[in-house]
């Protein structure tokens, strides 16, 4: 069975981050068995969580009606994730923060929905050391709070992908060292997603075998 990696772009623009994420997904798709889809928050209406506790007290989905309902379903259906954000004031965009806050029903209503799924983080900043590292770390914390298994990119890109765009789409492509951290991360996410899938299939086969 194919393994689906969802690339989530937290930029409100069709800019450097989306182009970096596209390249990451292309790299991941070089591994056999990987399918990819890019989902952007650009143009989407996702209000931040207001802490009304409706999901928690009613044990149901969020009752705020906007684009999050469809995004929630798409996100939960994927097997693995590459989450990318531009650096905004040394952190992820408010759009991405709003998205992850609205995944709160996973915690209270659908616990385990993202368990044993893998994710990695990518940050694209206009300045060389403009907060890519703290942005990657914050995205990692977003992923951890939603129960995902986080991987980094190993040597050179320990925590994740970090790119210096010089505020230009082409600038991101020119940052060869940064792009290598993105490609390395994409390969690690793909590898681990395939291993987890194989493990899940083997586990399911074992359960069936025991029942016969
Ligand atoms: C509101 C805002 C805040 C920003 N803050 C930072 C920052 O703290 N550090 C940085 O390196 N770049 C910062 N930038 C620049 C963007 O991270 C950079 O231009 C990035 O490539 C934009 O990605 P995009 O083309 O996908 O929108 C900021 C840009 C905006 C609009």
Dist. CA 77–CA 35, nearest whole Å: 13
Cβ of 89 below 6 Å from ligand 1 = yes
Query: What pLDDT was estimated at residue 114?
Result: 95
Query: What pLDDT was estimated at residue 212?
Result: 61
pLDDT in tens, 93-106: 999 999 999 999 99
Query: What pLDDT was estimated at residue 211?
Result: 67
Query: What pLDDT was estimated at residue 205?
Result: 82
Mean pLDDT, residues 131-159: 95
pLDDT in tens, 11-27: 999 999 999 999 999 99
Dist. CA 96–CA 83, nearest whole Å: 9
Cβ of 15 below 6 Å from ligand 1 = yes
pLDDT in tens, 35-87: 999 999 999 999 999 999 999 999 999 999 999 999 999 999 999 999 999 99
CATH topology classification for 3-211 = Rossmann fold (3.40.50)
| Residue owning the nearest CA to atom 22 of ligand 1 | 86
Question: Which atom of ligand 1 is closest in space to residue 14's alpha carbon?
Answer: 26
Dist. CA 49–CA 171, nearest whole Å: 34
Give SS3 for 85.
strand
Query: What pLDDT was estimated at residue 207?
Result: 72
Distance 132 CA to ligand 1 centre (A): 10
């Amino acid at each position: 069975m194919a393994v689906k990696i969802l690339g989530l772009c937290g930029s409100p623009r069709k800019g450097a981050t989306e182009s970096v994420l596209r390249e990451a997904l292309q790299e991941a798709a070089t591994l056999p068995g990987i399918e990819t889809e890019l989902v952007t928050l650009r143009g989407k209406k996702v209000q931040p969580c207001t802490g009304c506790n409706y999901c928690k007290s009613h044990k149901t989905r969020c009752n705020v009606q906007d684009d999050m309902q469809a995004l929630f379903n798409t996100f939960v259906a994927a097997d693995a994730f590459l989450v990318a954000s531009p650096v905004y004031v040394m952190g992820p965009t408010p759009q991405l923060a709003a998205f992850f806050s609205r995944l709160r029903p996973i915690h209270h209503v659908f616990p385990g929905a993202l368990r044993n799924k893998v994710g990695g983080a990518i940050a694209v900043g206009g300045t060389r050391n403009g907060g890519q590292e703290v942005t990657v770390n914050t995205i990692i914390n977003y992923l951890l709070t939603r129960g995902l298994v986080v991987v980094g990119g190993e040597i050179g890109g320990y925590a994740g992908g970090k790119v210096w765009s010089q505020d230009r789409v082409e600038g991101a492509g020119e940052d060869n060292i940064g792009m290598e951290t993105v490609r390395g991360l994409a390969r690690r996410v793909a590898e681990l997603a395939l291993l987890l899938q194989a493990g899940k299939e083997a586990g399911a086969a074992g359960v069936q075998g025991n029942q016969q």
